[in-house]
A and B are shown apart, each in its own frame.
Chain A
Amino acid sequence: MKTMTSIARLTNITRSEGDPKVIRSGPSSRGIPDSLAKGLGWFSLGLGLTELLAPQRITRPLGMEGKEALVRAYGVREIGSGILSLSVDKKLGLWSRVAGDGLDIATALTVLRPDNPKRDNVVVALALLLGITAIDLIDAQATTVLHDRRSGRRRSYRDRSGFPRGVAASRGAARDFKTPPDLRHAPPLAAVSPRTSAA
């Protein structure tokens, strides 16, 4: 059992004396892949903001001077992935991170040239990118499996009418109910146009 979170303790000031207050916390409904997605989402936001606001901090060490506009565009992409990874659509966010990783690797490969004086930095960056890609891929797959609707049994509810006397006998069984005056609508539409069969 985890100890009570400090935030939950803080919120006790909003509760009255007789309200229950957390003593000890149990396991979360969030799975490990969900928690990792949250971490990756914040990482995306941090990296994206850096790329957007200070692209030269990326371009200079990698010998990519002049490509600041491209790095800014990648920053916007990264922020989008981060927001999605932090949302309930985290699967989409994580897979967009994987796609973004591919783009980052491809971009880094273009500057892995013998004439690039920062070539060694590019090699380190590529190694980091491959590591991050592996984490993104594993988490995207794990999250997809964890939340897959097809997980578990496929059951049939064909016998669950909810009417102990059957549907036919129950149609109109509450005819003793009188609609209250405040909930009445139009008069019965007795002369409606012909309908097609319900079958």
Chain B
Amino acid sequence: MRALVWHGKEDIRCDSVTDPEIEADRDLIVKVTSCAICGSDLHLFHNFIPAMLPGDVMGHETMGEVVETGRGLNGKLKKGDRVVVPFTIVCGECDQCKRGYFSVCQKSNRKKHLADKVFGHTTAGLFGYSHLTGGYPGGQAEYLRVPFADTTVQKVPHGIPDEKLLFLSDIFPTGWQAAVQADIQPTDTVAIWGCGPVGQMTIRSAILLGAEQVVAIDRLPERLEMAEAGGAITINFEEEDVVERLNALTGGEGPEKCIDCIGMESHLSPSMPDTVYDRAKQVFMAESDRPHVLREMIYVCRPGGLISIPGVYGGLSDKIPMGAAMNKGLTFRMGQTHVQRWTADLLRRIEEEQIDPSFVITHEVSLDKGPEMYRTFRDKQDSCIKVVLKP
């Protein structure tokens, strides 16, 4: 089959690879009908996430049709079923899964020893996201093996286009969880840094959850336009002072809820000297992340407020103003998304037409074009916001 394979920094290729095979009773094989490139794939593209190896298949936003099932699925899933494959692999049996904390499933990471060493304790296995999270082949491919399939996948009905359902695999639940864990109240101003795909989904989630004001921060006109179309007040940080504008919008008190949809690779600019400092440290491997957004959020957030972090951080961050965070009594909530906790509810909201997540797709191309689309997406060329690949 064909698959997008990581060969090194900025080196993705559409390779011929062997087909995946059933290994365990709860496995199934999905024939991929649609998959997408995620913003967090760019962290792998840049080799900022440790433990990627040449030959790893990329991709963690996937959906398709079941073509082969393991013996242990007991009819829960059968050939011809249409499924969305969340990026988190979950056993459904461990204490964390039983609580709904699926992204920290205790059993699904088959390279648990690596995660134990790096994180202290293991987190869930993820598709196509380094050997720290199991080294599972990803779904930017024609076929995908799904372990623990009965508890991992979300069955979806026929008759709804892939484009409306695909993002149940990651960015829609990620944006939703980012907003839900901020416990949005009708009086809240919610400030969202980053208008990439997760930022766009977070904006829509905050609107659906009834925030009084949603403020979106970015610098790219097309992304700000899309944010505005979704009901956000926008701030172009290259033209306005973010802190001043947020304070102006909140009577000088700062937003109650701040959401970081950027993560470890903040935009680099001499006008934000801390990003240059972080980049220099990254080059010399003295720091892995550029946490500019985190610093700004801690500074501007209202005392007693909440900081929600769906953006991916990879390792070590410097100069986090913990003094301000502690004295202001801020609450931090973060983590990979517990996708399976939200998918059924979000599927219903799509079916009821509360939201149509396909609005975010700007490019739809064949899998063969994947390598060049990684570059287009990374360089933000051609007004690219979200790429869907068709194997």
8 Å CB interface, B204-242 against A: 204-205, 207-210, 212-213, 221-223, 225-226, 228-231, 233
Q: Could you tell me the distance between the alpha carbons of A89 and B265 in the complex, rounded to whole angstroms?
A: 12
Point out the residue from A29, A174, A180, A196 that lies within 8 Å of B13, measured CB to CB: A29
Whether the Cβ atoms of A28 and B11 lie closer than 8 Å is yes
- The residues of A that contact B137 with a CB separation of less than 8 Å are 15, 19-20
Of residues 149 through 191 on chain A, the ones whose CB sits less than 8 Å from some CB of chain B are: 149-165, 167, 170-175, 177, 179-180, 182-186, 188-190
The answer to whether B17 touches A17, judged by C-beta atoms less than 8 angstroms apart, is no
Contact B54 A147 (CB under 8 A): no
Verify if B116 is at the interface (C-beta below 8 Å from A). no
Within 8 A of A (CB), among B290-315: 304, 306
Is B3 a contact partner of A28 (Cβ separation < 8 A)?
no
Contacts of A28 in B (CB 8 A): 7, 11-13, 371
Q: Does A114 contact B (CB under 8 A)?
A: no
**A29 engages B359 (CB within 8 Å):** no
Q: Does B253 contact A (CB under 8 A)?
A: yes
B188 touches A189 (CB 8 A): yes
Count class of interface residues, chain A: 35 or more
Whether B22 pairs with A151 at a CB distance below 8 angstroms is: no
Measured CB to CB, the closest approach of chain A to B163, in angstroms, equals: 12
B:1-38 near A, CB below 8 Å: 1-3, 5, 7, 9-23, 27
Tell whether A27 is near chain B: CB-to-CB under 8 Å: yes
- Contact A151:B382 (CB < 8 A) given known A22-B55, A31-B375: yes
Task: Give Cα A81–Cα B23 distance, bound, in whole angstroms.
Answer: 48
Would you call A107 an interface residue if the criterion is a C-beta within 8 Å of the partner chain's C-beta atoms? no
Binds A, one of B83-91, B149-157, B317-325, B347-355: B347-355
Expressed in whole angstroms, the minimum distance between the Cβ of A7 and any Cβ of chain B is 5
| A172 to B206 alpha-carbon distance, docked (Å) | 8
Are B306 and A14 in touch, CB under 8 angstroms? no
User: Across the interface, do B283 and A195 meet the contact criterion of CB distance under 8 Å?
Assistant: no
* Residue A148 CB within 8 A of the other chain: yes
- In the assembled complex, the Cα of A192 lies from the Cα of B188 at a distance in Å of 9
Chain B, 33-53, contact with A by CB distance < 8 Å: what is the 0/1 string? 000000000000110000001
B355 touches A170 (CB 8 A): yes
B263 within 8 A of A: no
- Contact partner of B382 (CB less than 8 A), chosen from A29, A152, A157, A159, is A152
| Of A31, A149, A164, A194, the contact of B381 (CB 8 Å cutoff) | A149
Cβ–Cβ < 8 Å partners of A27 in chain B: 13-14, 371
CB distance A161 to B230 under 8 Å?
yes
- Point out the residues of chain A lying under 8 angstroms from B383, CB to CB: 152-155, 157
Q: Which of A16, A22, A88, A167 contacts B230 (CB 8 A)?
A: A167
Are A177 and B357 neighbours in the complex by a CB distance under 8 Å? no
Write out the residue numbers on chain A whose beta carbons fall within 8 Å of the beta carbon of B46: 88
Chain B: residues with Cβ within 8 Å of the partner, total of 102
CB-based contact A22/B222 at 8 Å: no
Shortest A16–chain B CB gap in Å is 6
B183:A184 contact, CB within 8 angstroms: yes
Q: In whole angstroms, how far apart are the Cα atoms of A162 and B2 in the complex?
A: 32
- Contact yes or no, A23 B17, CB < 8 A: yes
Can you name the residue of chain A whose Cβ is closest to the Cβ of B345? A177
Q: How far, in angstroms, from A83 to B371 measured CA to CA in the complex?
A: 24
Report chain A residues within 8 Å CB of B230.
160-163, 167
By a CB distance below 8 angstroms, the chain B residues around A192 are 187, 251, 253, 256
A102 to B183, CA, bound (A): 58
In the complex, the chain A residue whose C-beta lies closest to that of B131 is: A14
Q: Which of chain B's residues have a CB closer than 8 A to the CB of A4?
A: 15
Chain A residue, CB-CB nearest to B138: A20
Per a CB cutoff under 8 Å, which of B23, B110, B252, B375 touches A29?
B375
B374 contacts across to A, CB distance below 8 A:
29
Known: A14-B53, A15-B135, A24-B15. A183 touches B362 (CB 8 A): no
A160 to chain B minimum Cβ distance, whole angstroms, is: 4
Q: Is B182 an interface residue (CB 8 A)?
A: yes
Chain A residues with CB under 8 A of B213: 195, 198
27 pairs, CB–CB < 8 Å, chain A vs chain B = A9-B55, A15-B137, A18-B21, A20-B141, A27-B13, A28-B7, A29-B371, A31-B375, A153-B383, A155-B222, A157-B385, A160-B226, A161-B359, A162-B229, A163-B355, A163-B356, A167-B229, A167-B231, A171-B208, A174-B205, A175-B209, A183-B181, A185-B331, A193-B252, A194-B251, A195-B213, A196-B251
> Which residues from chain A sit less than 8 Å from chain B, CB to CB?
1, 4-5, 7-9, 11-12, 14-31, 34, 83-84, 87-89, 147-165, 167, 170-175, 177, 179-180, 182-186, 188-190, 192-196, 198
Across the A-B interface, give the 6 residue pairs with the lowest CB-CB distance, nearest first: A152-B382, A172-B210, A18-B21, A162-B359, A8-B55, A29-B371
Beyond the given A8-B5, A185-B182, A189-B256, could you list 16 further A-B residue pairs with CB under 8 A, ordered by the A residue number? A18-B27, A20-B57, A20-B137, A21-B55, A22-B5, A26-B13, A26-B14, A26-B15, A152-B381, A156-B222, A157-B223, A167-B230, A171-B207, A172-B209, A195-B212, A196-B248
